[in-house]
Structure 1
Amino acid sequence: MAIIHRTTLKPTKLELLTDWLPTRPWYHGGPDAPLLTKSGGFRLDDPEGEVGIEFMVATDTSAAEPTAYLVPLTYRGAPLEWAEHALVGTIEHGVLGKRWAYDGCHDPVLVAELLSLIEGAVQAQAQSMDDTPDHEVIRSYTGAPFTLDGFTPEPADDREGTRLRTPGGTILELHRVLHPVPEHPPLRPEGAIGHVARGWQDPQGNLLTAVFATLRTA
């Protein structure tokens, strides 16, 4: 179970993302720096208790139309070997000390737990509370159990998000730019064998819902 520490972060997560988001191919902002607010998300627990796993929704209000981005992050107490290219930045945590924050799509711990969530083997956790299941997270799956021993993710980004191939021969898609859907709970996308969805709040406080991740056969 992850413990949520009420402490200071230097820089803050949003300050890290302000510099990092514009370097992503799926960033839709203009030449100015994004103006980010934390709009929602959830957490997953690392079974080993070493890695923090967060799925953050960060909304950019720098343009006329706000854009919500899904940002999966992992927080580690030491650098992740071979993943320098996935480093978002380092944070000085008031309790835990220096933490390395990574684009979680490159972190095997996050990918394994996300697939376990899709499969129904683990429970999503509230973003800001200890030991509190997040029942607002919707998931589905109709495939075979995953086997992830020794799996190293090799994600690829495009204009809409991130895709990676799983050991089971499926393609996991993370929708980095979130597009609200009218139905609640969101239906599984056509042709998918699994999905994860959740709501978040727009800058006016309205609740929006979107599919965060989709699993398809290759």
Structure 2
Amino acid sequence: MAVVYRTTLRPTKLELLAAWLPTRPWYSGTGDPEPVDAGGFRLDDPAGEVGIEFKIVTDPSGTYLVPLTYRGAPLDGAEHALVGTMEHGVLGRRWAYDGCHDPVLVAQLLALIEGRVEAQAQSVSDTPDREVTRSHTGGGFSAADFTTATDDREGTELPGPRGTTLRLHRVLRPSTDGPPEAAGHVAGSWRTPDGTRATGPFAVLHTAP
């Protein structure tokens, strides 16, 4: 169950992201970022140890998907993926990571694509998020199949076996074309700066032709 605590964070997630976003090749802003919450969803860690959040933020430069994991201790070998540390009012020190480099998030994202788990509401405990949609055809995968994440100017790509790739759209753009033609996908909605709702793909699983 994705438990959402009503407590304080120092620094806040948005403060962490304001410092981290300019280091990403897919962030197109100039000057100091001004990220604003625009939506997202959570996934459960079956072991109950790692917080998993797909956070969406907007700022004057665009709309961005930021998958994050929150851990009670550093993740070995993931120093390059550390977004920062926070003091949580209930759980204490938390290490926040770019979740594309965290095997727990990758495993649960694949489970979501394959229909084995449900997306959870971002701000309410134990509540499925019905706005998140997914599809899948073909066989299953594990996080061990996707161990390297590489950023580019639009997103993050994780190559897998037999020509498979898992691509996360870090720069979000509205789409009215329906589900992408792919082996699997996850899509959802977010709030735009003018207060309307937009919908588009978050992650797409491609297989070799």
The answer, yes or no, to whether TM exceeds 0.5 is yes
The answer to whether residue 43 in structure 2 is matched with residue 48 in structure 1 is no
| Residue of structure 1 equivalent to 2:28 | 28
Q: How does 1:115-154 map to 2 (within 5 A)?
A: 115-148=110-143, 150=144, 153-154=147-148
Which of these residues, 67, 82, 86, is aligned with residue 91 of structure 1? Answer: 86
The answer to whether residue 186 in structure 2 is matched with residue 196 in structure 1 is yes
Q: How does 1:65-76 map to 2 (within 5 A)?
A: 66-76=61-71
**Do 1:146 and 1:168's aligned partners in 2 also have CA atoms closer than 8 Å?**
no
Structure 2 distance, partners of 1:125, 1:168, is 31
User: What is the CA deviation profile of residues 142-167 of structure 1, one whole-angstrom value per residue up to 9, with x for unaligned ones?
Assistant: 1102244x556210000000000235
Query: Runs ≥4 in structure 1, deviation > 6 angstroms?
Result: none
Cα displacement (A) at 1:38? 0.5
SS at match of 2:68: strand
Gaps of 5+ in 1: none
User: What fraction of aligned residue pairs are identical, expressed as a percent?
Assistant: 65
Cα displacement (A) at 1:2? 2.2
Cα displacement (A) at 1:3? 1.3
The one-letter code matched in structure 1 to 2:11 is P
| Residue of structure 1 equivalent to 2:18 | 18
What TM-score, normalized by structure 2, do the two folds share? Answer: 0.96
**Do 2:146 and 2:158's aligned partners in 1 also have CA atoms closer than 8 Å?**
no
Gaps of 5+ in 2: none
User: What is the CA deviation profile of residues 168-207 of structure 1, one whole-angstrom value per residue up to 9, with x for unaligned ones?
Assistant: 6520000000010135xxx2223x1111000011122100
What TM-score, normalized by structure 1, do the two folds share? Answer: 0.92
The answer to whether residue 79 in structure 2 is matched with residue 79 in structure 1 is no
The one-letter code matched in structure 1 to 2:12 is T
The one-letter code matched in structure 2 to 1:215 is L
| Residue of structure 1 equivalent to 2:152 | 158
